[in-house]
Amino acid sequence: MGNANGVSWLINNHRELIDADYCINPDGGGGDLKNGKHSTIVIQTSEKIYVSYKLEVKNKGGHSSLPVKDNAIYRLASGLTRLANFDFPVRLNETTFHFFEKVADSESDQVKSDIMSVLSASPDPSAVNRLAALSAYYNAMMRTTCVATMMSAGHAENALPQTAQAIINCRMLPEDNPDNVAAVLKSVLADSMISVTRISSPFLAPLSPLRDDVTGAVNKIATAMWPGVNVIPVMSTGATDGKYLRLRGIPVYGVSGMFGDIDDARAHGKDERIGVNEFYDGVEFMYRYIKAISTEESH
């Protein structure tokens, strides 16, 4: 929460009260059940950055009975079509590189081959495209993404549109920046009549480096509780309060022993739920984990 009761307020007003080498966020991380089996447990080390842009075309308009080719809606629609066919380049960081390394072994031969190509110095575009088409999640892990989410145009059904607007929501990689994204959007839209304006300033925060004193205990305890479970670092496509701490130099790691069915996603829904056994196992995991990282042996 970024309000007066949240981490943002605390670190902005009482940074001196926070004496921490790193932070564990139990609301991040977690595990996936696949066909009732504990398949993966993740350690969240970073998150994508939320930023939106307004695209706008202005036109002198006119009466709809006298149409002309220069139409604000058509210009914007043409630009959006070019954007729909564009993908930002693949750019892996420490977390996403290890993420794909970990998930490769659990995939089929073709998917595994495509992932290994993505991990190489020169990814095969065909492999990247197949992987992106297979999984929106894999696509989001590989690159910055931008997508049209809202649109409005015109003021009357019998008038040529004087304005046409669209909102583009982007989820940037932690190492990307909003000026670069805006420049890419302008290049892809390829129309000087389409203005690109950032709606608000994004909250930029670096990723947390992988460190053995954090990940080692997760591996040890998860393996003991759920033999064969795959421990994977991830970059969240959503957002957490961890960004406020990361910005001030405190690495944050999302770690949780709570597992949910991968094929029954209900996050943020009114019917969001967790199994009874999974809840108590998650409590036990966190008890063991906090105990482990609190001992001198783990430092």
Residues in the chain: 299
179, 91 in Cβ contact below 8 A?
A: no
Which residue would you say has higher pLDDT here, 275 or 43? Answer: 43
Residues 53 and 192 in one domain: yes
Q: Give CA torsion, residues 218, 222, 227, 231, to 10 deg.
A: -50
Would you say residue 37 lies in a domain? yes
Residues 94 and 226 in one domain: no
Residue 296 is predicted with a pLDDT of 53
Residues 54 and 187 in one domain: yes
Mean pLDDT, residues 56-60 taken together: 96
Which residue would you say has higher pLDDT here, 204 or 94? Answer: 94
70-73: list long-range contacts, CB under 8 Å, 24+ apart.
71/160, 71/161, 72/153, 72/154, 72/160, 72/161, 72/162, 72/163, 72/164, 73/153, 73/154, 73/161, 73/164
Write the CATH number for 22: 3.40.630.10
Residue 189 is predicted with a pLDDT of 97
Q: Is pLDDT above 90 for 97?
A: yes
Write the CATH number for 99: 3.30.70.360
> Which of residues 147, 181, 198 is at a domain's end?
198
Residues 194 and 213 in one domain: no
pLDDT confidence band for 36 (50 / 70 / 90): confident
User: 223: which DSSP letter?
Assistant: H
Would you say residue 153 lies in a domain? yes
| DSSP H helical ranges for 135-241 | 136-142, 178-189, 212-225
> Which of residues 144, 168, 198 is at a domain's end?
198
165, 152 in Cβ contact below 8 A?
A: yes
Half-sphere exposure of 25 (CA within 13 A, CB side): 25
> Which of residues 172, 198, 224 is at a domain's end?
198
Would you say residue 109 lies in a domain? yes
Q: Return all residues near 144 (Cβ < 8 A) that are at least 6 apart.
A: 48, 88, 91, 170, 171, 172, 173, 176, 181
Helix/strand/coil for 76 = helix
Residues 43 and 53 in one domain: no
pLDDT confidence band for 272 (50 / 70 / 90): confident
Would you say residue 2 lies in a domain? no
**Number of neighbours of residue 249 by Cβ within 10 angstroms:** 9
Half-sphere exposure of 258 (CA within 13 A, CB side): 14
Q: Whole-angstrom distance between the N-terminal and C-terminal Cα of the chain?
A: 30
C-alpha span between 254 and 44 (Å, rounded): 4
31, 257 in Cβ contact below 8 A?
A: yes
Residues 257 and 175 in one domain: no
Would you say residue 30 lies in a domain? yes
257, 289 in Cβ contact below 8 A?
A: yes
Residues 135 and 168 in one domain: yes
For tokens 């070019």, what's the residue?
Answer: 82
Task: Output the average pLDDT for the chain.
Answer: 91
Mean pLDDT, residues 205-214 taken together: 90
Q: Return all residues near 125 (Cβ < 8 A) that are at least 6 apart.
A: none
Mean pLDDT, residues 68-87 taken together: 96
Give the pLDDT confidence of 116-142 residue by residue, as tens digits. 999 999 999 999 999 999 999 999 999
Residues 88 and 212 in one domain: no
Strand 259-261 and strand 230-236: the pairing is unpaired
pLDDT confidence band for 3 (50 / 70 / 90): low
Burial class of 85 by CB neighbour count within 10 A (0 to 12, 13 to 18, 19+): exposed
Q: Give CA torsion, residues 233, 234, 235, 236, to 10 deg.
A: -140
Q: Is pLDDT above 90 for 107?
A: no
Would you say residue 175 lies in a domain? yes
pLDDT confidence band for 299 (50 / 70 / 90): very low
Residues 69 and 140 in one domain: yes
Q: Which domain holds residue 162?
A: 49-198
pLDDT confidence band for 2 (50 / 70 / 90): very low
Residues 108 and 156 in one domain: yes
C-alpha span between 121 and 123 (Å, rounded): 6
pLDDT confidence band for 12 (50 / 70 / 90): confident
C-alpha span between 141 and 15 (Å, rounded): 32
Residue 34 is predicted with a pLDDT of 84
Based on the structure, what is the number of domains in the chain?
A: 2
Read off φ and ψ for residue 166, nearest 5 degrees. Answer: -145, 150
Q: What percent of the chain shows pLDDT beyond 90?
A: 70
Residues 170 and 71 in one domain: yes
Would you say residue 1 lies in a domain? no
Question: pTM of the entire structure?
Answer: 0.85
Mean pLDDT, residues 291-298 taken together: 75
Residues 54 and 123 in one domain: yes
